[in-house]
Structure 1
């Protein structure tokens, strides 16, 4: 789960559950996130990429969006965002940059486009701190268009259930309410405690 974001001292509820993710076992956040979306949701996925990357200070190394056409065509594209520092008006800022933008990997007929592949590095799954000095993480690997196309039917099967809020859940007991923990500022140690 991606954390809430703090803006102007106020907490913004931005917790999201990606469609798929993977991380190093010692990392707090996933290094690679995959979102499967249909064209209508595809317009919003760039904002999700911003949220995932910026709210984790770049701990998310890659946000991969598989965008499926939903109007009778079987065409599908892939977009990948990565964290990047840019200098604007003399100030360095972290941003999410599309390094691959709407690259087709499946034709209108549903056939894989052979030359298209998603290339990731093992470093993508860990933070810079965890991967520092580990040359074994310099390995890249590719996921072919055929593999991406094989992944889509499984994702499509899950999509209606997610959209219709189907699936097993725990239910609140009849008449029961919910109580959230009050937000209080952290306790400040007294001068005696510091001593």
Structure 2
């Protein structure tokens, strides 16, 4: 069988699970056993050109084919379940023990097992039940939960059973994310003042208060860098990943899962590679009653040695912000209005992020060299104690011993001794 031609229908995606004996790591293959499936990445996933059928074009969700080629990766990306997933930062495969994972998160928080900005942990193997228990355990520890939400990204795929922990990106990554979000927010806010009533009303329904967060899909859970979601939809319509350490393969697999496992709720996925200044995008279409995903832009540069590349743009149509049934009902033919970030826009965002990263490194160098930007005669003050401040470890030890002594003496070792509780009672009586 040629893996690049294999497909499975949306109904089959909904019905089948990785445990179904008919399902190989690459999808629904009745004639294949799990261990017979080659773990070769399907060529279409990374950009092998395949012309769509006429029926496919009739059911497309609105492709912007800038390069003149469409790329199909309709089959499930491979995952050999006997081996850990291979990622650019994987350094091994650890025990899937929930306790071990929680210990590892604690070590990351304490800095004893640090992860660099944007770096991923080794992969763990978890069942869906174990993953649910892990989430519950983390939620019980408020400080650990806060750290995980602020500093970490959890990725889990039921299809492969792999769970990874990833640090949030460094300054360059975070500033690029912020720049793209701000640029798109500005365009949406401008659209809220449009003379076109449909555009205006629809733009008001795009949630601008939440542009990231966990996206739970049928077979996986990811935390994308950027998302935009219509207030009437349970899932975002637009996903943007800013890739710093992710490989093209990892990004393509994630895009496939976003589009297919959302059952066509997610309309478009963009990948911005900030190391190579390239842009990739994926959309879905229904081809012969089969939900498939395909690549529109395949790592197209938006910056070269001469500056911005004129014909590369990040294009989001207004109707991409919601699933098809909602956008068609609310926008009709007006849904084709485009919000565009040109190559020039992307270059300015990336250049600002690179400049900020350089400034941060220079500041760190100044701190490490002792140049704290203060005259030598100026000393740093000590923080005063605050009302209700928690006990220091030594204080806690001291008061615990006093309480134990109090209990021992009250228990009869000193008949004349009146314990603290009775002293308070007698004083108030």
Q: TM-score, normalised by structure 2?
A: 0.31
**What SS does the corresponding residue of 1:44 show, helix, strand or coil?**
helix
Q: Tell me the equivalent position of 2:53.
A: none
Q: Tell me the equivalent position of 1:113.
A: 309
1:143 CA displacement:
1.1
Q: Tell me the equivalent position of 1:151.
A: 349
Q: Tell me the equivalent position of 1:7.
A: 17
CA radius of gyration, larger in: 2
What pairs with 1:22-171 in structure 2 (closer than 5 Å)? 22-38=228-244, 40-69=246-275, 75-87=276-288, 92-107=289-304, 109=305, 111-133=307-329, 134-135=331-332, 136-152=334-350
**Separation of aligned partners in 1, 2:18 and 2:246:** 31
The more displaced of 114-123 and 128-137 is: 128-137
**What SS does the corresponding residue of 1:15 show, helix, strand or coil?**
strand
Deviations 1:81-136 (A, max 9, x none): 0011223xxxx3212210111111011x4822122212221010011111123234
Deviations 1:125-180 (A, max 9, x none): 0111111232342312321011112333576779xxxxxxxxxxxxxxxxxxxxxx
**Separation of aligned partners in 2, 1:77 and 1:7:** 35
Runs of 5+ consecutive residues of structure 2 not aligned to the other structure: 1-13, 20-126, 129-157, 162-219, 358-429
Check the 8 A contact 1:32/1:63 in 2, yes or no.
yes
Superposed CA RMSD: 2.7
**Separation of aligned partners in 2, 1:110 and 1:67:** 18
| Cα separation, partners in 2 of 1:143 and 1:16, compared to 1, 3 Å | same
| Cα separation, partners in 2 of 1:57 and 1:112, compared to 1, 3 Å | same
Q: Which structure's residues are more often helix, by fraction?
A: 2
- Give the length in aligned residue pairs: 144
**What SS does the corresponding residue of 1:30 show, helix, strand or coil?**
coil
After the TM superposition, list the runs of 4 or more consecutive aligned residues in structure 1 that deviate by more than 6 angstroms. 154-158
Check the 8 A contact 1:21/1:30 in 2, yes or no.
yes
**What SS does the corresponding residue of 2:265 show, helix, strand or coil?**
coil
**Separation of aligned partners in 1, 2:286 and 2:226:** 26
**Separation of aligned partners in 2, 1:149 and 1:64:** 16
Q: Which structure's residues are more often strand, by fraction?
A: 1
Deviations 1:50-102 (A, max 9, x none): 11111110111000001233xxxxx4111110011223xxxx32122101111
**Separation of aligned partners in 2, 1:97 and 1:154:** 32
Q: TM-score, normalised by structure 1?
A: 0.64
Runs of 5+ consecutive residues of structure 1 not aligned to the other structure: 70-74, 159-195
